[in-house]
Amino acid sequence: MIRRTQVAIIGAGPSGLLLSRLLHLQGIDTVVLERHTREYVEARVRAGVLESSTVELLREAGVGERLGREGLVHEGFELAFAGRTHRIDLQGLTGRHVVVYGQTEIQRDLGAAHAAAGAAIEWQAQQVSLHGLQSQQPCVRWQQAAAARELRCDFVAGCDGYHGVSRASIPAEHLAQYELLYPVGWLGILADVAPVSEELIYARHARGFALCSMRSRTRSRYYVQCPLTDRVEDWPDERFWDELRARLPAAHAARLQTGSSIEKSIAPLRSFVAEPLRFGRLFLIGDAAHIVPPAGAKGLNLALGDVRLLHRALVEHYRTGSDTLLQEYSARALRRVWKATRFSWWFTQLMHRLSQEPMAERLQLAELEYLSESRAACTALAENYVGLTPAEP
């Protein structure tokens, strides 16, 4: 079966669904292909700290109502080190804040909006392949329910993540790839317990990094640094809570509420950037092109920043016939991507135990002391955390 659309979108995560939603509101036809089921995609536990530009974009897409009701506005966060804490006053230093609202909830909001609009999403699309990307009419082929399908389109948006087909469809000689692997992972759990603090706590400890985050006032998301060789089975709940408590300042450890985990996973840390973000009529978005370690909460925000730029460029193309913004998409997106990659790398180096060298530990503590004493240093951290100004068309 052969179909026709204007924009084929590979991947039905937040970036793919948001791009489709924004284009739909402008009368631009899309089809989204996703290899998993809707239930699987909506159950994935991911990021939860949103920059103000991300919140504005979700509102523009008409999916900001529940976010406005349930999102938690955070005007600062705490750095914990050497048994004490120092608060980074985001609002006071930058005039901006972040909003805590889980990616799972964004996924559900977008899914509901698409269902209500009758948008075209092909779930369980298997063996997806991209063809004719440098021609005027690329096409996407896949298998679904044992039948061969083909979609002809004007453009392809690759929103299918690090392991997806989109980046893999670009010949190696047309792509530069940069990668840094870190020697540790994040063990994260989700639990229905009240957060230990109203704001996030990033803890640097001799035993390793820890993060106290949340998804709501009754659901907490906690992480501890662990070796890459560890397995989830090595970390029963009791061991996790004991380790988290040991890495927090005494006052916070005393307030920590514990309970049974409802999700537990280990994620390796990496910095990765591929460039350019365009090959012919294929455009890469989010994890398909760049990954940052989760410290600093940049991953989802960067992906939706890509969506903002590509959406504006496609609207310009269909409204005016101009391809200026399409031609500028990669350069505009990469300017922000590299700055956020630098920040995430720096923050990871600052807060994690990546080396057993005593010198490395003393340098970390010296930099944290400097942060606690310097408004200028805190302002630089805060500016990056709330999000550098998007590269608007």
Is 174 designated active site? Answer: no
Q: Is 252 helix (H, G, I), strand (E, B) or coil?
A: helix
Query: Cis bond leading into 276, ω under 30°?
Result: yes
Task: Given the residues 290, 298, 317, 352, select the one marked as catalytic.
Answer: 298
Is 329 designated active site? Answer: no
The single-letter DSSP state of residue 55 is H
Which residue bears the tokens 């120092």?
86
Tell how strand 7-10 and strand 155-158 pair up. parallel
Tell how strand 126-131 and strand 155-158 pair up. unpaired
The strands making up 176-191's β-sheet, listed across from edge to edge, are: 84-89, 76-81, 201-203, 210-214, 220-227, 176-191, 261-275, 290-291
H-state helical runs in 164-298: 165-168, 237-247, 250-255
Task: Given the residues 24, 74, 290, 352, select the one marked as catalytic.
Answer: 74
Q: Is 289 helix (H, G, I), strand (E, B) or coil?
A: coil
Q: Is 370 helix (H, G, I), strand (E, B) or coil?
A: helix
Q: How far apart are CA 81 and CA 269, in angstroms?
A: 21
Which residue bears the tokens 């506005």?
73
Which residue bears the tokens 């924009």?
7
Element (H, E) at 39: helix 38-43
Is 385 designated active site? Answer: yes
Q: How far apart are CA 10 and CA 168, in angstroms?
A: 13
Is 311 designated active site? Answer: no
Task: Given the residues 202, 222, 223, 329, select the one marked as catalytic.
Answer: 202
Structure tokens at 201: 């706590």
Which residue bears the tokens 């994260």?
188
Tell how strand 147-152 and strand 2-4 pair up. parallel
Is 202 designated active site? Answer: yes
Task: Given the residues 205, 294, 329, 390, select the one marked as catalytic.
Answer: 294
Which residue bears the tokens 């662990």?
226
Q: How far apart are CA 122 and CA 61, in angstroms?
A: 21
Residues designated as active site: 74, 202, 294, 298, 385
